[in-house]
Amino acid sequence: MLRLRRRYTVGPRDAPTRKWVIEVSPVVRLELLKESRLRIGWYACKLGDHISVKRCYRCQAFGHVAAVCLRDPVCGFCAAKGHTFRECKREGTPKCANCSVTAEDPNHEAGDLRCPSTRRAMETQIKRTDYGKNDQ
């Protein structure tokens, strides 16, 4: 029998579709990924790994959330210190606070999924995840 544990859902509550993040054993994960879909009743659900990276909406840094942040606010749109994304006038070209520090192309918002800094944080998260490779 397939054993899975529902962790949480992702996406707007009123949307017609949402992501369900489930937890399974490494062996079951490999079997599920061989298929591209999981049939549940009349539904054929797409399958894939879910990579989640914490990004603070206060300072834009990775690894923590705003509720525990002690740093000064940094805007997620213009990368200016002293105000947040909500307070920003959003004029001109966006500038990523993380890529500005790492000398990469900063011409995007901090929350952009194509951001090199976000991609690097996701790769780090993948490396830290135990996929059970040592158990097989």
At 126, the amino acid letter reads: I
pTM, full prediction: 0.75
| Beta-bridge mates of residue 23 | 5
- Residue (of 35, 52, 40, 36) closest to 4 by Cα position: 40
Per-residue pLDDT in tens (0 to 9) along the chain, 136 residues? 667 788 999 888 898 888 889 888 888 888 888 988 888 889 899 999 988 899 999 999 999 999 999 999 999 999 999 999 999 999 999 999 999 988 889 999 998 989 999 999 999 999 988 787 655 4
Quick one: what percent of the chain has pLDDT higher than 90?
56
- Residue (of 71, 83, 119, 112) closest to 95 by Cα position: 112
How is residue 107 written in tokens?
Answer: 């011409």
Q: What does the alpha-carbon distance between residue 73 and residue 66 come to, in Å, rounded to a whole number?
A: 9
Domain map (residue ranges) of the chain:
5-50, 52-129
Can you give the pLDDT at residue 52?
85
Q: What does the alpha-carbon distance between residue 106 and residue 125 come to, in Å, rounded to a whole number?
A: 22
Q: Find how far residue 134's CA is from the centre of its chain.
A: 26
Q: What does the alpha-carbon distance between residue 47 and residue 29 come to, in Å, rounded to a whole number?
A: 10
* HSE-CB for 133 with a 13 A CA cutoff: 6
